[in-house]
Amino acid sequence: MSTQRSIFITGGGSGIGRATALHFAARGWFVGVADINAGGMAETLNLIQGSAKWAGPLDVRDRKGWDEALAAFAEAAGGRIDALVNNAGIGTGGSLSELDPEEIDRCLDINLKGVLYGAQAVYPYLQKTAPGSALVNIASAAGIAGSAGMSVYCATKFGVRAVSESLDAEWAGDRITVASVCPGFIETPLLDGTGNRRSNEQIRDRVRAAGLEITPVERVAEAVWDAVHGDKLDYFVGATAKRMAFAKRWMPGKVRKQLRASLRPLGQ
């Protein structure tokens, strides 16, 4: 088995996944990116110096595809996988009454089932590299509090945190690190979307109009690094996520009042 540590990152062709790939590559890790976006993956690979890198197509909804991608990656990485970042995800917004069943299924399948599939598939690899191996799931500030127009996305991100908490207990005996990273609003192409097929307004514009900050994507990559090397269950990134986590814990009644008063869907 190689002595170089390796990390497999889903959604590595863009945004948070790409920034995380570059962060770990710069610190000597063998990096694998998996995505449905072939062009994005190729670009990420180009940005990584050296040859300690791998990319392969993976739709995180494909359970068999997970086994194939991880096996191919482990072989390329010298027989080991030290960390998985379950990062691939999509934004979905809008009143529940207006969403098509297909939109609901797609978001649950990618954001939540994809995370469970990945955790299940990577478990034997992480057992072999423990202690020191890690599963990091990218949740969201939307996994801290539910809000109007966000029921489906919030359900997936609360769910991602639940998966992390459960596996933290389930894998404690294996000495595998498990954590969630909960970013607020992060500067990635996800903010270019509307989050809702009935809206023309970009998420980015709604965030700015609400006076909230947009955090540089590198802050999330740093949090993933901390999560792989640390022992906390949750890592909150950006002022919005930190504020929400604090308020939800210490003044839940006030948070509820504020969320009920805000009529416009906000946040991903």
Residues that bind ligand NAP (CB under 6 A): 10-11, 13-17, 35-37, 40, 58-61, 87-90, 110, 138, 140, 183, 185-186, 188-191, 268
Residue 177 CB, nearest distance to ligand NAP (Å)?
19
Q: Are 140 and 90 in contact (CB under 8 A)?
A: no
Distance (Å, rounded) from C-alpha 157 to C-alpha 137?
A: 10
Residue 85: DSSP 8-state? E
Residue 112 CB, nearest distance to ligand NAP (Å)?
10
Burial class (CB in 10 A: 0-12, 13-18, 19+), 165: middle
123 given a catalytic annotation: no
List 117, 125, 153, 235, catalytic entry = 153
Residue 110: DSSP 8-state? I
When the beta carbons of 99 and 191 are compared against ligand NAP, the nearer one is: 191
When the beta carbons of 34 and 134 are compared against ligand NAP, the nearer one is: 34
AA letter at 116: L
When the beta carbons of 16 and 244 are compared against ligand NAP, the nearer one is: 16
Q: Helical H runs in the chain? A: 15-26, 38-47, 63-76, 101-107, 114-129, 151-170, 203-209, 218-229, 239-250, 252-261
Beta bridge partners, 181, equal: 138, 235
Distance (Å, rounded) from C-alpha 21 to C-alpha 32?
A: 8
Enclosing H/E stretch for 34:
strand 30-35
Start-to-end CA span in the chain (Å): 40
Name the nearest CA neighbour of 20 among 129, 118, 136, 133.
136
Distance (Å, rounded) from C-alpha 136 to C-alpha 247?
A: 24
When the beta carbons of 74 and 142 are compared against ligand NAP, the nearer one is: 142
Residue 17 CB, nearest distance to ligand NAP (Å)?
6
Residue 228 CB, nearest distance to ligand NAP (Å)?
16
3-class DSSP assignment, residue 109? helix
When the beta carbons of 113 and 128 are compared against ligand NAP, the nearer one is: 113
Residue 182 CB, nearest distance to ligand NAP (Å)?
7
Residue 21 CB, nearest distance to ligand NAP (Å)?
11
When the beta carbons of 41 and 129 are compared against ligand NAP, the nearer one is: 41
Q: Are 122 and 236 in contact (CB under 8 A)?
A: no
Please give the positions annotated as active site: 153
